[in-house]
Structure 1
Amino acid sequence: MVAYLSRDFNVITVDWRPLTRYPCYLHSLINTRLTAQCTAQIYAFLTHYGAAPERITCVGHSLGAHICGMISNHLTRKQYRIIGLDPARPLIERMKSNKFRLSIDDANVIQVIHTNAGFLGQEDNNGHLNYCVNGGRIQPFCKGNPIRKSRCSHFLSICYLATATFKHKKFMGVPCPNGCLNLSGSKRLPVSGKVNPFEFASLIREYHIGNDAPDDARGCICIDVPYAKHCPFTDA
């Protein structure tokens, strides 16, 4: 939120903590429907009184990303832009209907930032523009046992967006059409021994993430983020 306020955005936050009784994940999952319905009323109020849909972005982390998608179920016209931060995976993949999760039909522009794909975050590229940060699976800044690494990686999606928003920053990246990759060692971009290094270098571009990314950008991109500022979760 602070990152957006630093850029003179207006910010509305939805506090649904009373509906998310820790540690009962199932309780939270069930209440995503109610949260989406109530949030849709706020969205409809704003647009009814003149707010341009193109200037509204729903940003949600984990289950919040799916709530952003489900808001469009309660609107006569779907949203314009959604940014999903590592959309939650546990139990979500069992839902056969896209009505109860973020899907590519929920907005005209959907960006998904993957940081723990295949673990706490979804593996599917369910956005128009999908970013796999540092491989998109386990972040190099996260230490400890597998559970701690996954939790830390999952939350870092928030920090990466905040850093990009604060600084209007671009990140080096390459297309990765096959989705997020397991990277070992210090690598943060998918370098294969079978790829000519000059050919690989020719694919590298600078990319904006978040609201600075162009609305018409499409595909899956692996980006290198060499730090994790603005984040309290690295020791989680």
Structure 2
Amino acid sequence: MERFKDKNILVTGSTSGIGQACAERFAKEGANIILNGRHFADDEKQLIKTIEAYGNKVKFVQGDVSKGMDSVGILQQAIDAFGSLDILVNNAGVERNANFWEVTEEDYDLVMHTNLKGVFFGTQTFVKYCRKENRPGVVINMSSVHEEIIFPHFSAYCASKGGLKMLMRNLATELAPLNIRINNVAPGAIATPINQKMMADKDKMKGLLENIPMKRMGTPEEVAGLVAFLASDDASYVTGSTYFIDGGLTYHYEEQ
């Protein structure tokens, strides 16, 4: 099945974890891929080889969405890479663990600039392009269950994802007349490199799994499957919503 044959897709933060899984899933379904990351290293070279093996075009655009207007430059390079851009996946994201009263301005800015400001102006650049070329578009933001539920000691992260929820909802209405769809994907506990430390802690894992009705973590590939659906024509009437992929975590409640 090649739902994305000849489509050009940018996935920000696509050098590992969920972003990498999304890039590979799109490539399997026929898309040309623009990868993005802060650095170009051996892992990125291997990912490029993997995508090329599917017979697709691939280009790496180096850039950090947290740094000022880098997100605009990343989008412009992505558009120029293959002459057009059909789908934008705003996947890049960071988190910082600290008590609220100990959060530094530096860490706050890093989280907000990466998770919200970069998404805002990167998406704006994509929308300007779509309007100029009079073409449809699809935007998918990688949010989190923490756009909805609390995450103590991660106040800046929650604020950024809550802001992303409202940005998506607002843009869904504003962009619908332009034939541009936008949705959020909200993963729960996913087995990615960012969670390796927690996964190695048996006590923390036990507590986590007790809160997940399905009693397991999700995989990057499962998240990529949801992203691929929302990006495809199968979801042509879908906009303005958050799709949780969390094993039942978000609204889990049991009588004791």
Q: If the length of structure 1 is used for normalisation, what is the TM-score?
A: 0.41
Q: If the length of structure 2 is used for normalisation, what is the TM-score?
A: 0.38
